[in-house]
Structure formats: C-alpha cells, structure tokens
A = this chain, B = another copy of it.
Amino acid sequence: MTKTSKDANSPASDPFVFEQPCPIRDVLDRIGDQWSLLVLESLAPARRRFSELQRAIGDISKQMLSRTLKQLEQDGFITRTVYPEVPPRVEYELTELGRSFEQPMRELVQWADSNHRQIVEARARYRATR
C-alpha cells in the first residue's frame, strides 16, 4: 500500500470508494503493518530499550524492529533517546500522541482477547466444511 496515486477508474463522485489520499489509509498503512501495533503495545506500560523490545516481541528481526521504530518516531508516536554510554543505551518511549493511541488500541486488544475463542472455533468449522 505504498501507492498514493493510481486513482484510475475511481470516480471521485462515488462516496463508497476511499478518497485517495485518505487519512484513514495513511494512518492504517503505518500502524496496520505486521509490527507497529505490537511495538506500541510493548511500549505502553513503560519505556523500553531496543533489546528489551526485541526480546518481548520475540520473533521480529533487528532490521524490522529498527525500521518500525524509525517509522513510529517519524510519525510522532514515540521518542528515541540515546544515552552516550558504553555499551550504548537507547530508550524508546511513547509520546503524548502515542499515549493517546493507547485507548483505541486497548479496545482492539480487548476485543481480540474476548473473541479469540470464537475465531478459533470458526477456523475449525471452516476446515471441517472445506
């Protein structure tokens, strides 16, 4: 979803078609990737350093963690603080914007938690009928 142009065959008149640049698309492109939500959730309870985040998420590669953090910093969700020590220490922390995102994120997580069973059941049902 990197393309912002390509409004071919999208009559702006049709209110059903997403506008193209669309704030929702723009934001969802960022937080709707494989890792951003997980990182934000890890950062919600407390500031963390790079290696803590990596351990917490478990199966993210350094490169993707690095890239995700950079994007989140860019978009103003988190701050990055470097402590000039050796070995280096870098801490990531939610900004006010990032903290304001906690509420909708929590709802999402809560929904996931409440409905996980149903989803698992749906999957089993699907496998049975395929």
Contact = CB atoms under 8 A, between A and B. Distances in A.
A15 B10 CA distance: 48
Given A23-B112, A34-B32, A17 B119 contact: no
Contact of A107 (B29, B104, B120): B104
Interface string A91-130: 0000001001101110111111101101111110110000
Secondary structure of the A contact surface, majority rule: helix
Given A24-B109, A28-B38, A97 B123 contact: no
A97 B111 contact: no
A90 interface: no
4 A-B pairs closest in CB distance: A76-B122, A27-B112, A23-B116, A104-B107
Interface of A: 1, 3, 6-7, 9-10, 14, 16-18, 20, 23-30, 32-35, 37-38, 41-42, 45, 52, 55-59, 73-76, 97, 100-101, 103-105, 107-113, 115-116, 118-123, 125-126
